[in-house]
Amino acid sequence: MGVSIGIIAIKGGVGKTTISASLASELARTHDKKVLLIDGNYSAPNLGLHMGIVTPDKTIHHVLSGKVRLKSAVHECYGVDVIPGSYFFPNDINPLKLKDKISGIKQDYDFIIIDGSPSLNEEILSTMLASDVLFVVSTPDYPTLSCSLRAARLAKQRGKPIAGIILNKIRDPSYELSLHAIEEVTGIPVIAKIPDEKIHTKALFYRTPTSIYKENSKFSHEIRELTNALNVAKSRKRFWSSFFSFAVPREAINRELLKEQFYTEQFFFKER
């Protein structure tokens, strides 16, 4: 049985879609995992564009309105099964059906990544309910942090574990919130620190996930490290044996703890 991971934030523009696309492609490419990637941003879907899908004929909207079966809306891109959204679709969808729709195919995948909506309505609830575990994407500023806190509260109310915060678009750390401050305020570990880089504009222009477009970027490195943490097959020994020999960044330690959590099936993950 695969694990479903919701990528959420109650704010647009923080990098949810960019990260979802790269996380999914990296799990498929580097770890050879079977991955389903779903656009959960029903009112403003754009995940397809990040994955090279421009005008999909069957989308998550068709699935949620009961017009097609989930499997019929799958588009294969970069080794990932993608279900994009539709810009031009009437609103007769039931977002809360997503959980039911994916329950029947969870055994076919190792990971199901859901790119969440920033709207604090049934769209974000749709992602939360369908996810076993959530990653919150945040930028290191106070307004976004307050949104992340709201997301954390909502997830708690719904009984959904937040596995970590992905801190994105770090520009000038001297004038931004530190990892420690964010962890202290939210009580959630930061599992990736990603700088602001220009490469995303080009990657999107070529409709390619950034981690594939530029493998040696800091973004791609951090995404790879995160997928290593989700990939339970990797050995943990080397990390812990080298742990005391030199300074390891806090986010790397948090990732190792995340891996432990996946091991102990805290997030319902079962190794195949």
Ligand X SMILES: Nc1ncnc2c1ncn2[C@@H]1O[C@H](COP(=O)(O)OP(=O)(O)O)[C@@H](O)[C@H]1O
Residues at the interface with Mg ion (CB under 5 A): 16-17
Establish if 17 lies at the interface with ligand X (CB under 6 A): yes
DSSP state of 196: -
Q: Which residue's structure tokens are 């609103």?
A: 91
Q: Which stretch binds ligand X (CB under 6 A): 16-24, 96-104, 231-239, 250-258?
A: 16-24
- The 122-161 contact track toward ligand X, x by CB under 6 A, reads ----------------------------------------
Residue 208: both structure tokens together: 């390619």
Partner touching 169 among Mg ion, ligand X, none, CB below 5 to 8 Å by kind: ligand X
- Best CA proximity match to 105, nearest among 83, 134, 78, 136: 83
CA–CA gap between residue 93 and residue 61 (Å, rounded):
6
Partner touching 196 among ligand X, Mg ion, none, CB below 5 to 8 Å by kind: ligand X
Contact 39, 52 (CB under 8 A): no
Which of 4, 18, 22, 25 binds ligand X (CB under 6 A)? It is: 18
Establish if 37 lies at the interface with ligand X (CB under 6 A): no
Compute the least distance from the CB of residue 67 to ligand X, in Å: 26
In sequence order, which residues have a C-beta less than 8 Å from that of residue 137 and are 6 or more positions away? Answer: 7, 8, 9, 14, 15, 16, 19, 165, 166, 168
Compute the least distance from the CB of residue 15 to ligand X, in Å: 4
CA–CA gap between residue 31 and residue 200 (Å, rounded):
23
Q: Which is nearer to ligand X, 63 or 136 (CB)?
A: 136
Q: Which stretch binds ligand X (CB under 6 A): 10-18, 87-95, 142-150, 249-257?
A: 10-18
Q: Which of residues 165-194 bind ligand X (CB under 6 A)?
A: 168-169, 194
In sequence order, which residues have a C-beta less than 8 Å from that of residue 104 and are 6 or more positions away? Answer: 70
Residue 213: both structure tokens together: 């477009």
- The 200-219 contact track toward ligand X, x by CB under 6 A, reads x---x--------------x
CA–CA gap between residue 270 and residue 242 (Å, rounded):
27
Binding site for ligand X (CB under 6 A): 9, 12-18, 168-169, 194, 196-197, 200, 204, 219
